[in-house]
Structure 1
């Protein structure tokens, strides 16, 4: 399974926006429509390697001070290798 490790800037949110999101039961940030600005992107083929890279990126001063965050995103579905079509004709 492949992974993408991304270091992004954290967008500041006003108190009014936070209160409105809580009151409406909605989300404050929606990554699908407006993703955070990316600072660094790294690719890994295995989960352990992805987590090791994420830990390394988490040592950056901006991440430690809370201005940036590190995300590990899976690129493939688990067990998403080659699919063999089933044959329902029986044996």
Structure 2
């Protein structure tokens, strides 16, 4: 299975938005509607390689300070048995 490793900016959430999401049971952020801006994208052929690349991207200063995050996303479903 192939994987996509993405480093993104973290959007700030206003207190009002958090309160509304808490009260209604909704979400503060919905990646399907409004994805976070991408900073870097890398492909990997297997899970082990994807996790290794994600760990490497996690050492970036902005990620360590909490300004950005690293996501590992599968590109294909599991192989049929």
**TM superposition score category, shorter chain reference:** over 0.9
Structure 1 runs of 4+ aligned residues shifted over 4 Å read none
How far is the alpha carbon of 1:80 from its aligned partner?
A: 5.1
Aligned to 1:3: 3
Distance in 2 separating the partners of 1:42 and 1:80: 25
Question: Which blocks of at least 5 consecutive residues in structure 1 are unaligned?
Answer: 82-91
| Bigger radius of gyration among the two | 1
1:34-69 CA-to-partner distances (Å, cap 9, x unmatched) read 000000000000000000000000000000000000
Distance in 1 separating the partners of 2:23 and 2:52: 38
TM-score by length of 1: 0.86
TM-score by length of 2: 0.97
* Aligned length in residues: 81
How do residues 12-31 of structure 1 correspond to structure 2 at under 5 angstroms?
Answer: 12-31=12-31
Considering Cα pairs closer than 8 Å and 6+ residues apart, tell me whether 1 or 2 has the greater RCO.
Answer: 2
Aligned to 1:88: none
Distance in 1 separating the partners of 2:80 and 2:15: 42
